[in-house]
Structure 1
Amino acid sequence: MKRLGIIGAMDEEVHILKGMMQDVSVETIASMEFNKGLFHGKEIVVVRSGIGKVNAAICTQILVDRYHVDAVVNTGVAGSLRNEIDIADIVLSTDAQQHDMDATGFGYDLGIIPRMERSVFEADRALLELAQSVCAEVIPEVGVHTGRVISGDQFISDGKKKEELVSNFDAYCTEMEGAAIAQTAYLNNLPFLIIRAISDKADHSAEMTYSEFEEIAIKNTVKLLSEFIKRI
């Protein structure tokens, strides 16, 4: 692999990685700052996309068209959708789907994108297996889970909404960008992986726990990514 793209929605999710890069050149496109440089001799492009699916999709397409990345990794935090997935645990995506794509008025199931051959986008198996291996070595004390990531333009902080997501989607966590990155990657035949650290339980306590545990969660993903990039 010649060049890896790494997307985080917020500065907090990428600033540590940016600080560890060497020979960095910076370019601003579509109000997004693309940081191209070396990380342990590997060429990477790190970018803060901004929050939400539109920003994430635009960012991914720029990585494809301008930087010709060979794969993309989405990193950041997420809300847990399962009791066994605790705060500061890691979720690695097997696939991703939008939970707020709603064409049920036309007879489609919730989450299905009309007139597309698929609505659930599979992560790259080799990237997933590498991430699993690295997790076992560098963060053995952290719970690591592998499953579906769902995304929507909503911060989930309501128990009723969480129950709806759990009943409609066989998902492990919810956030606001990953499925858009996955769909864009799929359309470009680009390997992808979503790596999310759990910052909250996606319920009434989400706002409080997010603020308290976001930093801890991000540090876990940085440990993982640092070794992941070395081996890619």
Structure 2
Amino acid sequence: MAPIIIAAATHKELSLLVRSIGAGPEPGTRTGCEIYRGKLGSATLFLTVTGIGKANTASALTALLERVTPRFIINVGCAGAYGGSGLQVGDLAVASAEVYGDEGVLTPAGWESLESIGIPQVVRGGSRFFNEFPLTMLLAEQAVQLGASQGITVRRGRFVTVSTCSGTTARGDDLARRFDAICENMEGAAAAHVALLYGVDCLEIRGISNMVEDRDLSAWNIPLAVETAQRFVLKYLEFHGGL
């Protein structure tokens, strides 16, 4: 059976999973990222701490995908929820698509996407992908249904990946409207991008650590967000991982 890759930007976003399955360090790659290998039931899991941001995520996943061909990738971590998304701190969000929120051009008329430049980031099967990368519908739907069956709030929608996190309500509202999105993070679009290049299914699950508003760290709860997301991934693998 092909393995499953689980990726997160930081160690705290992956540590509970590593401990829960008793995963041990795996010889690293030239990227220097942390890699762990373990088993859950009959499934082999590769867990990688990619580092923060798009470049680190793309580099780490590419290096790992050159070594193994997984059944699918799970990208796990925390995110900031946009106002009006229906999400609150401690809830879970599942991506239907990932959008590069920064790539484009700022014109006198406002921001425009890569499509206005006319150069796609990826061309696959006659389709051109500019800023938005879809994630596997079946995996996302399974996650939403699992949440419903367990009484856990799981909201599915578009995620935005940014290089500069939104620290004001106005910026968050602008991105939410522009992309019809529910939350933002700093890695997801890169993971979805690389998964598409390698033809691998991808699921993204994030715990909500904060609302995107005028920055107030006292209202954040990163420990709750990362624990909730990792515990849900364990449940998902038990129900849908083919263990």
Asked if these proteins are the same fold (TM beyond 0.5), I'd say yes
How far has the Cα of 1:25 moved from its partner? 4.4
How far has the Cα of 1:218 moved from its partner? 1.5
* Deviation per residue, 1:158-181 (Å, 9 max, x gap): 122112212311101000000111
Which residues of structure 2 form unaligned runs of 5+?
121-127
1:5 aligned partner = 5
Q: Does residue 118 of the first structure (1) align with residue 129 of the second (2)?
A: yes
CA–CA separation in structure 2 for the residues paired with 1:209 and 1:67: 40
Q: Does residue 176 of the first structure (1) align with residue 180 of the second (2)?
A: no
CA–CA separation in structure 2 for the residues paired with 1:206 and 1:111: 32
Structure 1 pair 114–35 and aligned structure 2 pair: CA distance change class (3 A): farther
How far has the Cα of 1:111 moved from its partner? 5.6
1:193 aligned partner = 203
Q: Does residue 109 of the first structure (1) align with residue 120 of the second (2)?
A: no
How far has the Cα of 1:207 moved from its partner? 2.8
Structure 1 pair 205–103 and aligned structure 2 pair: CA distance change class (3 A): closer
Tell me if the contact between 1:63 and 1:69 (Cα under 8 Å) persists in the aligned partners.
no
* Deviation per residue, 1:49-102 (Å, 9 max, x gap): 111010111122122111222211110000101332111111111111100012
How far has the Cα of 1:135 moved from its partner? 1.6
CA–CA separation in structure 2 for the residues paired with 1:41 and 1:206: 44
- Which sits farther off after the overlay, 19-28 or 148-157? 19-28
CA–CA separation in structure 2 for the residues paired with 1:56 and 1:23: 21
Q: SS of the counterpart of 1:37?
A: strand
CA–CA separation in structure 2 for the residues paired with 1:217 and 1:111: 32
Which residues of structure 1 form unaligned runs of 5+?
none
1:29-48 alignment, distance < 5 Å: 29=29, 30-48=31-49
Tell me if the contact between 1:80 and 1:202 (Cα under 8 Å) persists in the aligned partners.
yes
1:53-202 alignment, distance < 5 Å: 53-83=54-84, 84-104=86-106, 109-110=112-113, 112=115, 114-116=118-120, 117-119=128-130, 120-138=132-150, 140=151, 142-202=152-212
Tell me if the contact between 2:83 and 2:173 (Cα under 8 Å) persists in the aligned partners.
no
CA–CA separation in structure 2 for the residues paired with 1:134 and 1:111: 35
- Count of matched residue pairs: 227
Tell me if the contact between 1:148 and 1:170 (Cα under 8 Å) persists in the aligned partners.
yes
Tell me if the contact between 1:17 and 1:222 (Cα under 8 Å) persists in the aligned partners.
yes
CA–CA separation in structure 2 for the residues paired with 1:23 and 1:162: 37
Tell me if the contact between 1:134 and 1:224 (Cα under 8 Å) persists in the aligned partners.
no
Structure 1 pair 137–27 and aligned structure 2 pair: CA distance change class (3 A): farther
Structure 1 segments (4+ residues) deviating >4 Å:
111-114
TM-score normalized by structure 2?
0.86
Root-mean-square deviation (CA, aligned residues, Å) is 2.0
Q: SS of the counterpart of 1:20?
A: helix
How far has the Cα of 1:12 moved from its partner? 0.8
- Which sits farther off after the overlay, 54-63 or 113-122? 113-122
